């Protein structure tokens, strides 16, 4: 990291030492495993999860009673990625679930496990790179995770057979992941994509957070973080943008967002929806905070899923 600070100082001679230090500090605490803390993410998101704790606990207990096992695959760049696999009553229907920033596969979809079990779906719950048991130092923010998603799709087809029907469902960073994945060449087994509170790109969501929560300008923090990330993690922070990727999509997409989301604004959902070239549907849950839509309006959320899945 010191080597990069020296290079940045030479490139951006007009910047003060404090600005460089601020940018490096921001990068380390948001983009690197171990420094990105789940407690900080929950605080920034502002969602009151205490009110749903009993329901989540009950559903987790029921979920863990089901048949399941740990599985793994290898990423394109050689990381060992892990997931929990819950076979469904119908072995030819599987939803691959992608969790949010600083979370894990077994956390974000506990509530929805009840819904998918009742519909006969199996569930594959990966830990994203640099999260949970999966290897990696640098967080992918969907930009790298979309390539990992392809590996999990390949795993699912091999496990369940060529006749399997796959659904991709992501929340927050996972929502961005599935939207970014929509722009890739997907196998015919992928029938639909559900994105819940997905963002456009890490650059845009970090810019929003800096402006609204910290009242700080995006420059030079984002520009420096982008430079470091290209060197360290191998991707630019707006290199892959969900609003651009969905222009290439052909698989049907359902987008869900809470109107009271102060972490990833609902305006990002609107922008992505307008850009999408695939068959699309949208559900805005009034009064729902970040990642709260399912719990805020469970019947409405499940009804939207039913309608979407039934038409695939």
pLDDT at 22: 81
- Please say whether the beta carbons of 126 and 148 come within 8 A: yes
- pTM of this prediction? 0.94
Strand 122-126 vs strand 165-171: parallel, antiparallel, or unpaired?
unpaired
Residue 154 has a pLDDT of 98
14 pLDDT higher than 70: no
Place 23 in a pLDDT band, splitting at 50, 70 and 90: confident
Q: Examine the domain organization and report whether 158 and 63 are in the same domain.
A: yes
User: Is residue 37 one of the residues assigned to a domain?
Assistant: no
The full DSSP string for 50-97 is GGGHHHHHHHHHHHHTS--EEEEEE-TTS-EEEEEEE--SSTTEEEEE
pLDDT, tens digit, 9 for 90 and up, residues 25-46 = 889 999 999 899 999 999 989 9
pLDDT for residue 99? 98
Among residues 186, 214, 237, the one where a domain terminates is 237
Same domain, 290 and 249: yes
In a domain, 271, yes or no: yes
Claim to verify: residue 11 and residue 150 sit in the same structural domain? no
Q: How confident is the model at residue 216 (pLDDT cuts 50, 70, 90)?
A: confident
Query: How far is residue 124's CA from residue 169's CA, in Å, rounded to a whole number?
Result: 10
Range of the domain at 305: 47-201+240-310
For residue 36, being part of any structural domain is answered with no
β-strand pairing of 93-98 with 122-126: parallel
In a domain, 272, yes or no: yes
Q: How confident is the model at residue 3 (pLDDT cuts 50, 70, 90)?
A: low
Residue 294: inside a domain, yes or no?
Answer: yes
Let me know if residue 71 belongs to a domain.
yes
Task: Please tell me the distance from the alpha carbon of residue 269 to that of residue 190, in angstroms, as a whole number.
Answer: 22
Please check whether residues 154 and 180 belong to one and the same domain.
yes
pLDDT of residue 5: 52
Q: Do both 103 and 207 map to the same domain?
A: no
Over residues 57-91, the pLDDT tens digits come to 999 999 999 999 999 999 999 999 999 999 999 99
- Percent above pLDDT 90 for the chain: 85
Instruction: Report d(CA 167, CA 209) in Å as an integer.
Output: 30
Listed range (1-10, 83-92, 129-138, 205-214) with the worst mean pLDDT = 1-10
pLDDT at 217: 86
Across the range 40-57, mean pLDDT stands at 94
* CATH number assigned to the domain comprising residue 278: 3.40.50.1820
Range 103-106, long-range pairs (CB < 8 A, 24+ positions): 103/38, 103/41, 103/131, 103/172, 104/131, 104/132, 105/132, 106/132
Residues 170 and 240: their CA atoms lie apart, in Å, by 17
- Residue ending a domain, among 237, 260, 281, is 237
Segment 178-207, tens digit of pLDDT: 999 999 999 999 999 999 999 999 999 999
Distances (CA, A) of 205 to 102, 107, 238, 276, 308: 15, 22, 10, 19, 27
Shared-domain flag, residues 95 and 195: yes
| 246-282 tens-digit pLDDT | 999 999 999 999 999 999 999 999 999 999 999 999 9
Q: Kindly state whether residues 213 and 188 are assigned to the same domain.
A: no
Give the pLDDT mean for 96-114: 97
d(CA 294, CA 256): 9
Using the Cα atoms of residue 82, residue 135, residue 208 and residue 271 in order, give the sign of their dihedral. negative
* Residue 172 and residue 134 in contact, taking contact as beta carbons nearer than 8 Å: no
> What's the number of domains the chain is made of?
2
Mark whether 87 and 75 lie in a shared domain. yes
Same domain flag for 120 and 177:
yes
CB of 49 within 8 A of CB of 289? no
Task: Specify the pLDDT at position 4.
Answer: 53
How far is the C-alpha of 225 from the C-alpha of 42, rounded, in Å?
A: 22
253 and 129 in a common domain: yes
């Amino acid at each position: 990291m010191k080597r990069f600070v020296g290079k940045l100082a030479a490139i951006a001679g007009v910047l003060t030492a404090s600005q460089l230090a601020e940018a490096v500090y921001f990068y380390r605490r948001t983009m690197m495993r171990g420094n990105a803390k789940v407690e900080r993410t929950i605080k920034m998101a502002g969602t009151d999860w205490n009110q749903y704790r009993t329901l989540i606990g009950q559903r987790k207990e029921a979920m863990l009673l089901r048949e399941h096992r740990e599985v793994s695959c290898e990423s394109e760049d050689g990381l060992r990625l892990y997931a929990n696999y819950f076979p469904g009553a119908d072995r030819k229907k599987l939803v691959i679930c992608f969790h949010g920033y600083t979370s894990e596969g077994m956390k974000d979809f506990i509530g929805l496990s009840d819904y998918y079990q009742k519909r006969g779906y199996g569930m594959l719950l990966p830990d994203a790179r640099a999260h949970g048991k999966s290897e990696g130092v640098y967080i992918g923010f969907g930009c790298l995770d979309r390539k990992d998603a392809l590996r999990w799709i390949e795993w699912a087809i091999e496990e369940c057979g060529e006749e399997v029907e796959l659904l991709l469902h992501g929340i927050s960073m996972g929502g961005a992941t599935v939207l970014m994945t929509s722009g890739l060449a997907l196998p015919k087994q992928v029938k639909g994509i559900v994105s819940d509170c997905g963002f456009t790109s890490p650059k845009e969501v970090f810019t929003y957070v800096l402006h609204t929560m910290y009242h700080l300008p995006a420059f030079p923090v984002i520009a420096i973080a982008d430079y470091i990330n290209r060197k360290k993690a191998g991707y630019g922070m707006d290199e892959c943008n969900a609003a651009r990727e969905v222009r290439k999509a052909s698989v049907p997409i359902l987008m869900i967002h809470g109107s009271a989301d102060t972490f990833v604004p609902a305006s990002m959902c609107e922008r992505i929806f307008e850009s999408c070239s695939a068959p699309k549907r949208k559900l805005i849950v009034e009064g729902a905070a970040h990642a709260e839509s399912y719990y805020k309006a469970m019947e409405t959320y499940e009804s939207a899923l039913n309608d979407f899945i039934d038409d695939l």
